[in-house]
Amino acid sequence: MSKRDYYDILEINKDADQQEIKRAFRKLAKKYHPDLNPDDEGSEVKFKEVNEAYEVLSDEEKRRKYDQFGHAAFDQNQGFGGGGGGNYQGFDDIFGDIFGDFFGGGSGRRRSGPKKGQDLKIRLNISFEEAAFGTKKEIKINRMESCSKCGGSGAEPGTSKKTCSTCHGSGSVRTVQNTPFGKFQNVSTCPQCNGTGEIIEEPCSSCGGTGKEKKSRKVTINIPAGVDNGSIIPLRGEGNHGEKGAPSGDLYVYLSVKPHKIFERDGYDIWLEKKISYPTAALGNIIKVETLDGTVKYKIPAGTQTGTVFRLKSKGIQKLRGSGRGDQYVKVVVDIPRDLNKKQTETIKNLAEDFGEKIEPQKKRIIDKVKDAFN
C-alpha cells in the first residue's frame, strides 16, 4: 500500500513554515497518543504516522529531499538512500511541551537510549555530461567510527563498566506528578551517566572513553542521469557511527555541476547558439550541429533569419524521474563578414542593385588606406 503524503498526514499546506508544522504535530500527537487511547490500535498507527511525517518535515534538509524526490528519498531501493520514518526522533524534542500543556507535567513514554550517529555533508563537483548521463564516483570521507581498541565501549580493554548508581542501569530517572487525571510519570535522561546506564571507571587510552575514533573511508556514489546543480544525494548509514549499536548517520552529497563551454541547461532542455554564414541563411544548406551525443547534420532552410530557433527532439538531458529526454534548441545567428576583398564587395553591390538598393561608398579610414597600400 502506498504511503500517504506527509503534508496530508499533518493536515498542512506544502508552503507551511516550521511554526505551523510544529503546531499541527502537537495537535495530532495529543489526539492519537497511545496513552490517551489505550484500547485503540488504530490510534497508535496514526500516532507513528504523524511522528514520521513530523520527523521529515521539521528537518529542513530532509524536507528538501522529500519535496524533490517524495518518499523515494528515504527508500534505499530507489537509489536515494535517506533516513526517514518512525524512530521517534523529533517527537522527543517537544514531547514534554505537548503533555506539559495538556497535563501540567511530562510524558511517561519519553525514551532515552543510544543516539543515532551524526549526519555528514560533502560537496562534489561533476561535469555537465556526468550530470546529463549519470556516473559513478568514488570519494574519500572522514567519519567517526567505533574505536578499534575498545570496540566502542569506551572502557580500556580488560576493564569493565559499572552500573550507574543513580538510574540503576536504566539510563533514565523518573519523577511522579499528581494531575487531575491521576499520577503521571515524567522520564528524563540520567544526568550521571548521560543515558547510558553505565559508568566507565578506566577510559580507553585510545579514544579517551568516547568509544569513537576518526577514520578515512572510500565511498562509491551512483549519480543518476538528470541531476542538476544543487541536487542532493543521501547515502543511508554512511555518516558517523551511532552509540551502542544505534544506527549510523547519513551522508548527504551536494552536487555542483560545472558549466559547459557551448551548452546552457534549462530544466531538461539544452540550448546552443550556432553561427551560420550569410549564404547559408539566404540559400539554405546542411550544417553540422554539436549535441551531447556528438555532431549531427541539420538542414537550414533558405531565408533563415538571425535569431531563428530550431528544435532537435530528445537531444537534451535524461529525465531524472521519468522516461525519455528533453530537447535541444539551436538558436542560429547570421555571421556577417567584416573584411571583404574587392571581388566580394562588388558581388554584394551587384546583389544590392538587383534588390533595388543603392550602396553609398564610405570614406576609408587611415588604417584601411594603409592596409590597401600593403595589399
C-alpha count within 13 angstroms, C-beta hemisphere, residue 321: 11
Mean pLDDT computed over every residue of the chain: 83
pLDDT of residue 320: 85
Q: How far apart are CA 133 and CA 95, in angstroms?
A: 46
Q: Is residue 288 over pLDDT 70?
A: yes
Same domain for 325 and 274? yes
325: containing domain: 260-336
Q: How far apart are CA 18 and CA 30, in angstroms?
A: 18
> What is the per-residue pLDDT across 37-96, written as a single tens digit (0 to 9) for each?
777 778 888 888 888 899 899 998 899 888 888 887 776 544 454 444 444 434 444 555
- Specify whether the CB–CB gap between 217 and 139 falls below 8 A: no
Same domain for 283 and 254? no
> What is the per-residue pLDDT across 305-344, written as a single tens digit (0 to 9) for each?
999 999 999 999 999 877 899 999 999 999 988 888 889 8
> What average pLDDT does range 288-294 have in this prediction?
96
Q: Is residue 174 over pLDDT 60?
A: yes
Q: What is the pTM of this model?
A: 0.58
Same domain for 249 and 278? no
Q: How far apart are CA 374 and CA 232, in angstroms?
A: 62
Residue with more model confidence, 268 or 32: 268
Same domain for 326 and 276? yes
Same domain for 307 and 273? yes
List the one residue out of 291, 297, 302, 295 whose CA is nearest residue 334.
302
Percentage above 70 pLDDT, the chain:
82
Across the chain, how many H-helices and E-strands are there? 9, 15
pLDDT of residue 83: 44
Query: Which of 48, 74, 106 is the last residue before a domain boundary?
Result: 106
Q: How confident is the model at residue 130 (pLDDT cuts 50, 70, 90)?
A: very high
In a domain? residue 62 = yes
Q: How far apart are CA 118 and CA 250, in angstroms?
A: 7
Q: How far apart are CA 185 and CA 308, in angstroms?
A: 75
pLDDT of residue 312: 97
Same domain for 137 and 81? no
Q: Is residue 128 over pLDDT 50?
A: yes
pLDDT of residue 331: 97
Same domain for 245 and 266? no
pLDDT of residue 236: 92
Same domain for 132 and 81? no
Q: For the chain, what is the domain count? A: 4
In a domain? residue 181 = no
Q: Is residue 209 over pLDDT 80?
A: yes
Q: Is residue 232 over pLDDT 70?
A: yes
Q: How far apart are CA 269 and CA 223, in angstroms?
A: 19
Query: Which of 73, 106, 139 is the last residue before a domain boundary?
Result: 106
> What is the per-residue pLDDT across 135-161, written as a single tens digit (0 to 9) for each?
999 999 999 998 988 888 888 898 878
Q: Is residue 119 over pLDDT 60?
A: yes
In a domain? residue 239 = yes
Q: What is the CATH number of the domain that holds 131?
A: 2.60.260.20
> What is the per-residue pLDDT across 258-287, written as a single tens digit (0 to 9) for each?
999 999 999 999 999 999 999 999 999 999
In a domain? residue 222 = yes
In a domain? residue 186 = no
In a domain? residue 344 = yes
In a domain? residue 277 = yes
> What average pLDDT does range 344-362 have in this prediction?
82
In a domain? residue 131 = yes
Q: What is the CATH number of the domain that holds 9?
A: 1.10.287.110
Name the phi and psi angles at 332, rounded to 5.
-90, 140
pLDDT of residue 217: 92
C-alpha count within 13 angstroms, C-beta hemisphere, residue 41: 0
Same domain for 321 and 266? yes
Please give the grid coordinates belonging to residue 211: 568509544
Same domain for 223 and 133? yes
pLDDT of residue 78: 47
pLDDT of residue 368: 64
Same domain for 320 and 345? no
pLDDT of residue 101: 44
Same domain for 247 and 129? yes
> What average pLDDT does range 95-121 have in this prediction?
58
